[in-house]
A and B are shown apart, each in its own frame.
Chain A
Amino acid sequence: MWQLGDKTFSSRLLLGTALYPSLSVMQEAIVASETNIITVALRRQSPEMKSGQLFWDAIRHLNCAILPNTAGCYTANDAVMLAEMARELFQTHWIKLEVIGDEYTLQPDAFELVKAAKILIEKGFEVFPYCTDDLILCKRLLDVGCRILMPWAAPIGSGKGLIHAHDLITLRVRLPDATLIIDAGIGKPSHAVQALEWGYDGVLLNTAVALAKNPVEMARAFKEGVHAGRRAYLAGMMEERNMAHPSTALIDTPFWHQV
C-alpha cells in the first residue's frame, strides 16, 4: 500500500482511458492492470455528440479513483477553469494539471504551470502537475504547495521511454520527500520497471497500453512490470562493477591447479 495525496492505494500504475479500440476493451484493460486510478478528460459537447454518458457509465463501476486532466489548456486561466469544472463534475479535488507550451512536442509551459498550480492549491485542489524533468521547475512546484510531481519521461504518446535518465535520477535524489510519478513517454513495461527501480513512486501511462496489439495483455504486463520494479527498489540492487567477478568459487574445483 502507498499514500498518494490523502488516499491509500495498492497499485502504483495509473492508467489513461483514451485511444482504446472500444470502451469494452478499455474496461477490460483497466481491470487487468489492477490500477486504482484512471485519468479522464473534459470536452465541449458538440451538436452531433449526444453525451458523455456512455463513457461515464463505462468507468463508474470500475471502482477506481478518478484523476481528471486539463488536457488542451495553454494558459493558467484556462487550466484553472477546467479544473473547477472537473471538481464539480467528478466530485474530486484531484487534478492532473496540464498546461502545454508547445503544440508540436506538447512540452509543458513551466511558467503557466507554476502559476496555475499556485492558484489551484489555494482553491483546495490536490495538484498533480505534468512537468518536465527540470529540477528547478520541480522545486518551484513544491514551493507553491504541490506534494506530487509528474515529470515526463518523453513526449506524450511517443513511447520513447526514459530519455533523460540522468535528470530523472537527479530529481529522485534531490527531492526525496516528493511523490514522483513518471507521466508520459512510457512505451513498454521495461520503461516502467526502470522508473520504479530508480525509486519513482509510480507511473502514469495510456498510449502504451491502448495502442498495443492486445491492450488487455499489455495492461497485465505493465502491472507485473511495476510490481517488479518496486520490489527490486525495495530489495536494494547490487552495485554495478567494471570487472568480472566469478560467482562460483574456484578453490577445490576439479581443475583448479591448471589455472
Chain B
Amino acid sequence: MIKITLRDQPLMLEKHLSLSAVLHQHEIKGEHFAVAINLTFVPRSDYDKTFFKEGDVVDIILPMQGG
C-alpha cells in the first residue's frame, strides 16, 4: 500500500493501481476534467499507463467561470 493525496484528501491505495483505475473507483468520469500529478499535467491518453508512488499529489481540474 502507498499513501497519496487526491483532491486534498489522503488516500491509501495498492501500488499496482493505475490512474485510470483510481479515477474509476472515485467516480471521476466524463470528458470535462483534467488531471495533474505533482503539478504536472497528465494527458488522458496516459491514464491507463500512469501509476503512483508514495506521496504523489493528484489534482482534478474542472471548468469554472472566468473572465
Tell me, yes or no, whether A16 is within 8 Å of chain B by CB: yes
Report yes or no: A89 in contact with B63, Cβ–Cβ below 8 A: yes
Q: Restricting to B28-58, which residues have a CB under 8 Å from any CB of A?
A: 30-34, 36, 39-41, 43-44
Which residue of B44, B59, B67 is within 8 Å of A71 (Cβ)? B67
B67/A89 in contact, CB under 8 A: no
Q: Output the residue of B8, B30, B60, B63 with the most chain A CB within 10 A.
A: B63
Q: Are B30 and A53 in contact (CB-based, < 8 A)?
A: yes
Residue of A at shortest CB range from B39?
A81
Q: Does chain B have a CB within 8 A of A137?
A: no
**B36, A56: Cβ atoms closer than 8 Å:** no
Measured between beta carbons, the chain B residues less than 8 angstroms from A84 are 41, 43
Contact (Cβ within 8 A) B67 A26: no
A71 to B39, CA, bound (A): 16
B30 pairs with A42, CB closer than 8 A: no
Partner of B41, one of A16, A20, A45, A81: A81
Q: Mark A201-220, 1 if CB is under 8 A from B, else 0.
A: 00001110000000000000
Q: Within 8 Å of chain B (Cβ to Cβ): is A39?
A: yes
B65 touches A19 (CB 8 A): yes
CB distance from B62 to the nearest CB of A (A): 3
Main secondary structure of the interface of A (DSSP, over half): mixed
Q: Does B9 have its Cβ within 8 Å of any Cβ on chain A?
A: yes
Is the CB–CB distance between B32 and A52 below 8 Å?
Answer: yes
- Chain A residue numbers with a CB within 8 Å of B36 are 81, 85
Q: A42-B34, A45-B59 are in contact. Are A52 and B41 (CB under 8 A)?
A: no
CA distance A68 to B66 in the complex (A): 8
Q: Look across to chain B and name the residue whose beta carbon is closest to the beta carbon of A23.
A: B65
Query: In the complex, are the beta carbons of A55 and B67 less than 8 A apart?
Result: no
Complex alpha-carbon distance, A23 and B45, angstroms: 32
A175 at the interface (CB under 8 A from B): no
Collect the chain A residues with CB atoms within 8 Å of residue B12's CB: none
Q: Which of A39, A45, A47 contacts B66 (CB 8 A)?
A: A39
Which residue of A is nearest B8, CB measured? A47
B62 near A51: Cβ-Cβ < 8 Å? yes
A256 to chain B, nearest CB (A): 59
For the complex, is A179 an interface residue (Cβ under 8 Å from B)? Answer: no
Shortest Cβ distance from A72 into B: residue: B66
Contact between chains at A44 and B59 (CB < 8 Å): yes
Which residues does A use to contact B, with CB under 8 Å? 16-20, 26, 39-47, 49, 51-53, 55-56, 68-69, 71, 81, 84-86, 88-90, 156-157, 205-207
Additional pairs, 15, CB under 8 Å, beyond known A41-B65, A52-B64, A71-B67: A16-B67, A17-B65, A39-B66, A41-B63, A42-B63, A42-B66, A43-B61, A43-B62, A44-B7, A45-B59, A55-B63, A69-B67, A81-B41, A85-B34, A89-B61
**A to B CB contacts below 8 Å, 8 in the list:** A40-B66, A44-B7, A45-B61, A47-B9, A81-B36, A84-B43, A156-B67, A205-B67
- Give 4 closest A-B pairs by Cβ, nearest first: A41-B66, A52-B62, A16-B67, A206-B67
